[in-house]
Structure 1
Amino acid sequence: VLECAGLGPADLDYLAVSDDIGADGYLTSRRRFKKAQFSETWRRAPGYFGPRLWAMGKYYRRMLLTNRRSSAKRQQRWDELRGRLGDQGFAGEQRSYEHGYAHAATAYYCSGFDSALLFVMEAASFINASSVYLGRDGVIEKILDIPWPHSPGRFYETITLLLGFRPARHEGKITGLAALGDPSAAGDYARGLFHLEEDRDDFYLSPDVHLWRWDYRKRKPNRRLPRPLRPYRREDIAAAWQVALEEAVVALVERCLHRFPDVRNVALVGGVHGNVKLNQRINELDAVDEIYVHPGMSDCGQPLGAALACWAEVADDPGAFRVETVYFGPAPDQDEIDRLTRDYELVFEDVATDVLPARVAQLLAENKIVAICRGKMEYGPRALGNRSIMYAATDPSVNDWLNRQLQRTEFMPFAPVTLIEDAEKCYVHGLKSAYTAGFMTVCYDCTDFMKRNSPAVVHVDGTARPQYISRRQNPFYYDVLAGYKELTGIPSVVNTSFNMHEEPIVCTAGDAIQAFVASNLDALVLEDKLLLKDNNPTLRRKLTGVHEITQKLEDGDQPQD
């Protein structure tokens, strides 16, 4: 981050961090959370574990004992960071902010709202499961704590684990899978496990969910689901979990809106709000004028949240603002591009920079798959045009074959990028919360026009998760899409992240070349250069040879003379 900004530690006035509460603070927090969870589950544990007394004993031991070592290591990492920065010239002041407050700061100060309710929905912080804040006139005030263990994030991550995916990573797959199921099949059962309490502003999470989360923490092939879930298809289970989550969180939002009737804007943050279907339900409420979902809604937003909280404290007149883009990361290095060009004898198409968008639009109109690695990388989990793969959205079978080509899960829908001026034409109430749709963080119901012309990005439930784009945000990206519309009459194409399955989104030029070849794509925009697969027939062989040598070195083998 400092390198991208052209700064060094000596240039900093403040070091803002979240949750620097010391080894004793971490230890106290862990003990308190375990005690709360154990008090909810100990009566149910004997019936759940049954004859597996060894497993029950291990669970009890885990809940009753706390290892000091992990807390000490966390504090040691903070001390090492401060020491390194000090060695490099940092002499400023350090300030620490609570986890939920840092989340709330990203939600409020980047929203542009004068006043808003801020919902921090996640698995847990160091003091609670989730929280609600009020942002008004530049000041953030907490209005509600959701105590552990009644966690919306724990509810959803547990079903992610049970259905064979990785918790805290693959929850989006559950959202996609849910659209293929019948929520009524297991809906009542899921609601019994997780719901908003009628008599107080608090969620209820069944002890069974915590027991499942612990018991299934180690993935074992072909292990059966917990007994109560076995009668249902996995699609129906996902659908039931999705509906239960939506109903509980939406009910809490409505309750808070009723409590503050003069506040009609809602800002959403925390890992739970990576769930774009949940965000859609909140956006559709009549009592809500606009929602904002912070692009880095998970804990990747914590550093920015701490920085914003610190800025608000020291600024003369802090207030909410809006960012046009989140292209905050590094750009491809020209020296690396030159080196790769020499090493792999890359042959770029001779196309002028000013006509490159039109050439890419032509390729898309010819149903070519085009990857982009251009400009600064996006902040957050979404690819927003600088590290994207683009393809025409006219082929409904693309979800099968392109997901297979990228080695991704077959039922996951692709998302579109759409020209902002065509939002209403493509989506129902498409301009409501258009600012946050620029970051691909909310779903909309699709219009008949969208369903007819761009079926590849319309999920089976008739929704899509668009990115709106204007020329002001990204001139190149916009001009490509505008050129495609001029050729086809269609203002949307597929925009999916430029990476192979389970790999990070590409960052460097080298990453881009590797992923381009591995994905067998047709074209790559690398800064202002255009690389076509057909013009580089030996690239795969050259790259494979380099990869094999690198792998042998990593395995400890020495190259032969």
Structure 2
Amino acid sequence: YIFERFNLREEDIDLCVMTDIQTAERIGRKINAKETIVIHHHLAHIMSGWALTAWRDFSAVSIDGGGDYGSWLSFAKVVDRKIIDWEANCGCRLDKNGRYRDSIIHKKPLRRLAWPGWAFGTYWSFPTVVNFGMLDRNGIGGYEGKLMGLAAHGNAERFDPKKNNYTGCFELKKGRNYNYIKTKGHPKIGDKRHCVTKDGKRVSLLEVKKRRKEKVILYEYNLKEKEDFMLASDFAALLQNKTNTAITELFNNNFAPGEQMVLTGGTFGNVVTNGLLNRKYKVFVTPPMGDEGLALGAAAWGAYISGIRELEYPGIYTGFDAGLNESVDTKEVAELLANKKIVGLIDGRMEMGPRALGARTILSDPQDNHVNFTINERLGRVEYMPFAPVILEEHADDVLVGWSREQISSKHMTLLYQVKDKWRERLKGVVHVDGSVRPQVISKEDNPFYYSIVESYYKKTGIPVLINTSFNAHGEPMLRTVEEGISALKDNRIDVLIAGDKIRYAKER
């Protein structure tokens, strides 16, 4: 796609930067560039944030489920766009000249910090997969966000770690320049070596993994059963509390209140923790915070070592272009939404990162939570996950507790806020059981057409908010093309499709 979009050949590439060292070594270097280098997984995470923030001076933290040499945590310090320090918890770091040594690819780091235990992200991912079976039909995980969504339904104090044989915990450990999180214990509830199914069968974890490849999903708790749902919710609440505590202590021990902080790595997909950090620090959460941002980070490192430090922010819409909807009457769209229609939107270039931000989005009326059940049923999603709102920027302060315009990440749906009391009853479709929302705050400059839809709805209803959820079925990728949108309309996923500069109704198909 990239070669086609920019009319390039491999031979045109002066420098190819690859990341994830062990993966690069396993697959081989396949691009025929003039020069190829490989950088550390967590350096690429840091650089993705460096590329997308306009800040000149900041600290950065990356945390995820695991990277090169067993790393899952790194820190960086940037002054006037220059990276003056970077180190990961595996011991890898920049040399005294600020360079990442390519020779480190082929041997262990000169100074390796040993952190026994599991990677931080594993504390979410392991029970998500083995205890609760939160995988798609192909056995692919990455559903930690669904476990996070359960936390608000639970009570951490009600979960008994001893009774459920849960030993996972965190503590801080002093490194070279920073305090690090150290993991202890085991992340799984119950038997540490087996999955014990409902019928009492004990299946080794290795066998569980093998069966997933055959699309046989084994798990220990059935979330459709009330008792199991409560246990999972209580455990999720406990795990969220532990995550909040570990990361806030990490920040308290390393950074000053009010410091500008770039957050990256899949762990910062946890909007609950991000929301807490946002109260004490000036936070920018990298929009493609997960491994989808690594390619960007690798390219940014290539630019950085080539002397390019002033990058023009490309905006959040950088993907495949399906064409704009310039002739569509947004007042007509607002009328449809006010009449409880579920509207799919495919407009312009796709969003960067995992969030639906108005380019590949499903919109709906936020006033009644009954629509949540309808959308979830039609998309094959679980009913306990909250929907996110899109909010007009000029009304965000009226709706959200503690919001301000300088909180850039509120534009990218990566922060959590409480909803003010006067709006909670009017916005039942987007307010979670704990009174929170994960909003996208939108201005006219961000996306004029998308903004105009929300504005037209506000003028009709007095409500400056819409439900905004990703345009995809459960476990499927986001839709890309107009044709894929038409297929969703035919499959009754939505009532109305806005795409190809046209409003299409289900009856037309």
The one of 62, 68, 74 aligned to 1:131 = 74
- Residue in structure 2 matched with residue 364 of structure 1 by the alignment: 337
CA distance in 2, matches of 1:353, 1:143: 47
Give the whole-Å Cα distance in 2 for the aligned partners of 1:234 and 1:119.
Answer: 29
Alignment of 1:286-305 (within 5 A): 288=281, 290-305=282-297
Q: Which residue of 2 aligns with 1:472?
A: 445
* Counterpart residue type for residue 453 of structure 1: R
Larger radius of gyration: 1
- Which residue, out of 391, 399, 424, partners 1:426? 399
Distance 2:40 2:220 in 1: 39
Q: What value does the CA root-mean-square deviation take over the aligned residues?
A: 2.8
TM-score (norm 2): 0.81
8 Å Cα contact 1:372-1:386 kept in structure 2: yes
Report the Cα distance in structure 1 between the residues aligned to 2:174 and 2:326, rounded to whole angstroms: 63
Q: Distance in 1 between matches of 2:475 and 2:27?
A: 27
* Deviation for aligned residue 1:527: 2.5
Distance across 1 between alignment mates of 2:116 and 2:311: 30
Specify which structure has the higher proportion of strand.
2
State the AA in 1 paired with 2:42. G
Pairing 1:314–2:306 present: yes
Partner of residue 558, structure 1: none
- 1:63-96 Cα shifts (integer Å, max 9, x gaps): xxxxxxxx7xx536333x22xxx3xxx4x32232
Give the CA deviation at 1:234: 1.3
Match of 1:249 in 2: 247
Q: CA 1:130 to 1:500, structure 2 compared with 1: closer, same or farther past 3 Å?
A: same
Judged with a 3 Å threshold, the aligned counterparts in structure 2 of structure 1 residues 497 and 362 are, in CA distance, closer, same or farther, namely same
* Structure 1: tracts of 5 or more residues without a match: 21-25, 27-70, 335-351, 540-561
Matched, 1:414 2:392: no
- Matched to 1:133, the amino acid is A
Structure 1 range deviating more: 413-422 or 508-517: 508-517
- Please tell me whether residue 194 in structure 1 is matched to residue 169 in structure 2: yes
- Give yes or no for the alignment of 1:204 onto 2:182: yes
CA distance in 2, matches of 1:249, 1:494: 30
Shift of 1:3: 2.7
SS at match of 2:494: coil
Change (3 A) 1:319 1:257: farther
Aligned partner of 1:77 in structure 2 is 27
Residues 1:185 and 2:135 are matched in the alignment: no
Is contact 1:196–1:252 with CA below 8 Å preserved after alignment?
no
Q: Superposition pairs for residues 212-361 of structure 1, below 5 Å?
A: 212=192, 215-216=204-205, 218=208, 221=218, 223=220, 233-258=231-256, 264-285=259-280, 288=281, 290-315=282-307, 318-319=309-310, 322-323=313-314, 325-332=315-322, 353-361=326-334
Structure 1 position 513, deviation (Å): 1.5
Distance 1:440 1:422 in 2: 16
Aligned to 2:413: 440
Structure-2 change in CA distance of 1:328 and 1:492 (3 Å): same
Q: 2 CA distance for matches of 1:278 and 1:213?
A: 30
Rate the CA distance shift 1:95–1:412 in 2: closer, same or farther, 3 A. same
Code of the residue aligned with 1:9 in structure 2: it is E
Question: SS in structure 1 opposite 2:317?
Answer: coil
**Cα drift, residue 473 of structure 1:** 1.5
Determine the structure 2 residue equivalent to 1:384. Answer: 357
Q: Whole-Å Cα distance in 2 between the matches of residues 194 and 500 of structure 1?
A: 35
Which residue of 148, 159, 170 corresponds with 1:175? Answer: 148
Aligned to 2:54: 112
Other-structure match for 1:94 = 36
- Contact kept? 1:15, 1:94, Cα under 8 Å: yes
Alpha-carbon distance between aligned partners in 2 of 1:486 and 1:170, rounded to the nearest angstrom? 37
- Aligned partners of 2:267, 2:418: CA distance in 1, in Å? 21
Residues 516, 133 of structure 1: alpha-carbon distance in 2 compared, 3 angstrom cutoff: same
Task: Describe the shift of the 1:353–1:295 C-alpha distance in structure 2 as closer, same or farther (beyond 3 A).
Answer: closer
Contact 2:173 2:182 in 1 (8 A): no
Q: Report the Cα distance in structure 1 between the residues aligned to 2:456 and 2:412, rounded to whole angstroms.
A: 22
- Alignment-mate amino acid for residue 129 of structure 1: W
2:18 counterpart of 1:17:
yes
Report the Cα offset of residue 231 of structure 1. Answer: 12
Q: Match of 1:512?
A: 485
1:424, 1:108 → 2: CA distance? 28
Query: 1-side partners of 2:230 and 2:331: how far apart?
Result: 50
TM normalised by structure 1 equals 0.74
Shift of 1:360: 1.1
Q: SS state of the match for residue 261, structure 2? A: strand
Seen in structure 2, the aligned counterparts of structure 1 residues 520 and 98 have a Cα distance that, compared at 3 Å, is closer
3-state SS in 2 of match to 1:205: strand
Contact 2:132 2:220 in 1 (8 A): no
Structure 2 residue runs of 5 or longer lacking an equivalent are 91-114, 195-203
Note closer, same or farther for the CA distance 1:320–1:376 as it changes in structure 2 (3 Å cut). Answer: closer
CA distance in 1, matches of 2:193, 2:435: 32
Of 155, 164, 184, 2:133 maps to 164
Shift of 1:433: 5.1
Q: Which secondary structure does the structure 2 equivalent of 1:101 belong to?
A: helix
Residue deviations 1:156-196 (CA, integer Å, cap 9, x gap): 11121222213751111011111100011237769962222
Alignment of 1:134-145 (within 5 A): 134-140=77-83, 141-143=85-87, 145=89
Q: Which structure has the highest helix share of the two?
A: 1
Deviation of 1:314 after TM superposition, in Å, equals 1.1
Does the CA contact (< 8 Å) of 1:196 and 1:251 recur in 2?
Answer: no
- Counterparts of 1:388 and 1:172, CA distance in 2: 19
Bigger CA drift: 206-215 or 11-20?
Answer: 206-215
Q: 1:502 to 1:230 in 2, by over 3 A?
A: closer
Identity %: 29
One-letter amino acid of the counterpart of residue 303, structure 1 = A
Q: 1:356-381: CA deviations, max 9, x gaps?
A: 22221221122111101121111211
Letter in 2 for 1:108: W
Which string of whole-angstrom CA distances, capped at 9 and with x for unpartnered residues, describes residues 516-547 of structure 1? Answer: 2224421101131110113x1xx4xxxxxxxx
State the Cα deviation string for residues 486-526 of structure 1 (Å, max 9, x = none): 11111110000111111111012222122222244211011
3-state DSSP of counterpart to 2:252: helix
